[in-house]
Amino acid sequence: MSARPDNSRATTAAIVLRWAALAVLLLLLGWFGWVYRQIVATAAVDDAQNADAIAVFGAAEYAGRPSPVLHARLDKAVSLYQHGIAPVIVTLGGGQDKDSGKTEGGVGRDYLLANGIPYDHIVAETESIDTEQQVQLLAEMAREQGWDRVVVVSDGTHLFRIALLCQRAGLKIYTSPRAPLGHIDKVDAAERILHEMLSYTFLRFDLHLSWMHRWMESRAS
């Protein structure tokens, strides 16, 4: 007879735990569903308009040549410049030891020069190692140069996170996604979206998991 109250309490606790787990699952599904929709919506809109500068976020370079992703971002910046959107293009991104002294910002500058952009209309940032540093250094440049508005160019899925970082840095920006790169298989597309969903979540809730941050940034390019 004495075992029945204990069993009853255990059953009640198990029910409470199951309901709590369900509530957490529903919250997570709701949150990630909202983030997914925001990423996709931002990627679908080109908000480029007259500004003081165009900023191209870095992506991989190969022995001094832009990767297809960086190539597409730079081409978008050239098009915006030629349409009179802004008089200056900023190329962002540093390098690593394995890059033999090459940087994403430097490679971007060289590509722009080869495509007819005057040298004094290009600013190359070559020290940053990730998206957050690129935004920080861009914000510093904007304050020094008196830029009020900046058009930021990157992958469409990258722009929602960039917008939050720029907002926190006090930057007024307009987002402009690069052109698609032909066919992207479903696995790669899913990885890109998942990367941005997790990155935005860590950023939004200030979850500083350095190892995860480094891994996700390495996957972004």
Query: Does a structural domain hold residue 14?
Result: no
Question: pLDDT tens digits, residue range 53-68?
Answer: 999 999 999 989 999 9
What pLDDT sits at residue 213? 53
Query: Does a structural domain hold residue 25?
Result: no
Query: Does a structural domain hold residue 3?
Result: no
CATH (domain of 194): 3.40.50.620
Residue 145 has pLDDT above 50, yes or no: yes
- Number of structural domains in the chain: 1
Strands (E) located in the chain: 53-56, 61-62, 65-66, 89-91, 122-124, 149-154, 172-177
Q: Of the given ranges (8-12, 63-67, 125-129, 207-211), which has the lowest mean pLDDT?
A: 207-211
Query: Does a structural domain hold residue 149?
Result: yes
Query: Does a structural domain hold residue 1?
Result: no
Nearest to 122 by CA among 175, 56, 46: 56
Confidence of residue 188 (pLDDT cuts 50, 70, 90): confident
Query: Does a structural domain hold residue 2?
Result: no
Cα 74 to Cα 196: distance, rounded to the nearest angstrom: 21
Tell me if 178 sits within 8 A of 156, measured CB to CB.
yes
Burial of 156 from C-beta contacts in 10 A (0-12 / 13-18 / 19+): buried
Query: Does a structural domain hold residue 197?
Result: yes
Provide the percentage of residues in the chain whose pLDDT is more than 90.
76
Query: Does a structural domain hold residue 6?
Result: no
What pLDDT sits at residue 1? 47
Residue 174's domain comprises: 53-220
